[in-house]
Amino acid sequence: APDLSVGNIQAHLSQFQSIASSNGGNRASGTGGYTASLNYIKNKLDAAGYTTTVQNFSSGGRTHSNLIANWPSGPASPTFMIGSHLDSVNAGPGINDNGSGSASLLELALNVASIKPNLNKHLRFAWWGAEELGLLGSKYYVQNGGASGVDTYLNFDMTASPNPGYFVYDDVPAIEKVFKDYYATKNIPTEIETEGDGRSDHSAFKNAGVKVGGVFTGASNRKTTAQASKWGGQANQPFDRCYHSSCDTTSNINATALDINADGMANVLWKLAVTDAPQND
């Protein structure tokens, strides 16, 4: 698997930050800051050779959108999907929640496009709208047949909390194991993800019978002293003290967690969807 460049991921985060700054301080779904974030990603994916689709839906008198990117080579089925929500709350720019997952996913997709690995699954990436309004984008996608043919969905929401924990979703043991094996190679202990259970975009896929997984670095829960001994950082302080607030800026990112989790995503994608066998296309 490629070692994703954390500098490139941070450059995407800086773009999200300046987009928020020129759009009233946020990138909330249905606003100009969201549309500018979506276009930033879409332009890069289009240039890299992805087939992109913007899926619009309405809620609360606004138009919201999901960005879907299909990689055009490899087998037609089954589909292996990875997604991140791209919207922030109204209160701030949403750089950890969820610029972190969105920027890492973009960098992963761009690496796939340049490496062109031999695949054993169809690859699809998604950036969801209106997660912060009740997981609306991923629900809309699944309600409209999006989970059809999808074997696995991995979710990345908050991967660089400033006082990070390393939490692995425990929904599907086989997927959980692939993540844990990766963190073990980095000598990073993990715990089962419980703070966010059912509170992100993997939920609709799980309910539709898709195998799901992911990683998370913690939100408003506080790091215990036991967790601070294993992971470092500050005990008795929130994993993300700027969760859903105006200080969720580019200063609210732990670059080590950002890098490790992005590389983890790449590793899991390679383990689950890339084959070394030559392909005849």
CA angle 258, 264, 265 (to 5 degrees): 95
Supply the angle between the helices 6-21 and 255-273 in degrees, to the nearest 10.
Answer: 120
Considering CB distances under 5 to 8 angstroms, the limit depending on partner class, which of ligand PHE, Zn ion, none binds residue 216? ligand PHE
**In the set 108, 204, 219, 260, which binds ligand PHE (CB under 6 A)?**
219
User: Shortest Cβ distance from residue 98 to ligand PHE (Å)?
Assistant: 6
Residue count, binding to ligand PHE (CB under 6 A): 10
Describe the strand order of the beta sheet including 122-128 as a list of residue ranges.
Answer: 51-59, 62-70, 122-128, 79-85, 150-156, 211-216, 167-168, 191-192
**In the set 263, 268, 270, 274, which binds Zn ion (CB under 5 A)?**
263
**In the set 41, 68, 158, 160, which binds ligand PHE (CB under 6 A)?**
158
d(CA 170, CA 27): 30
Q: For ligand PHE, which is the closer residue by CB, 131 or 259?
A: 131
Would you count residue 216 as binding ligand PHE (CB under 6 A)?
A: yes
Would you count residue 97 as binding ligand PHE (CB under 6 A)?
A: yes
Q: For ligand PHE, which is the closer residue by CB, 154 or 158?
A: 158
User: Shortest Cβ distance from residue 174 to ligand PHE (Å)?
Assistant: 20
Q: Cβ neighbours of residue 145 under 8 Å, at least 6 residues apart?
A: none
Mark out the alpha helices in the chain (DSSP H runs): 6-21, 32-48, 100-115, 136-143, 173-185, 202-207, 225-231, 255-273
Would you count residue 196 as binding ligand PHE (CB under 6 A)?
A: yes
Considering CB distances under 5 to 8 angstroms, the limit depending on partner class, which of Zn ion, ligand PHE, none binds residue 107? none
Would you count residue 200 as binding ligand PHE (CB under 6 A)?
A: yes
Pick the piece of the chain touching ligand PHE (CB under 6 A) from 1-9, 32-40, 193-201, 226-234: 193-201
**Helix/strand/coil (H, E, C) string of 241-258?**
CCCCCCCCCHHHCCHHHH
Distances (CA, A) of 199 to 113, 194, 220, 256: 31, 10, 13, 25
DSSP 133: G
**Which residue out of 131, 132, 176, 193 is catalytically annotated?**
131
Which candidate, 80, 55, 69, 63, places its Cα nearest to that of 29?
63
d(CA 109, CA 123): 9
Residue with tokens 């969201």: 34
Would you count residue 98 as binding Zn ion (CB under 5 A)?
A: yes
Q: For Zn ion, which is the closer residue by CB, 41 or 74?
A: 41
Which candidate, 237, 152, 244, places its Cα nearest to that of 196?
244
Does 132 participate in catalysis according to the annotation?
A: no
Considering CB distances under 5 to 8 angstroms, the limit depending on partner class, which of Zn ion, ligand PHE, none binds residue 4? Zn ion
**In the set 46, 77, 199, 232, which binds ligand PHE (CB under 6 A)?**
199
Residue ranges that bind Zn ion, judged by CB under 5 A: 3-4, 97-98, 157, 259, 263
Indicate which residues carry an active-site annotation: 131
Residue ranges that bind ligand PHE, judged by CB under 6 A: 97, 131-132, 157-158, 196, 199-200, 216, 219
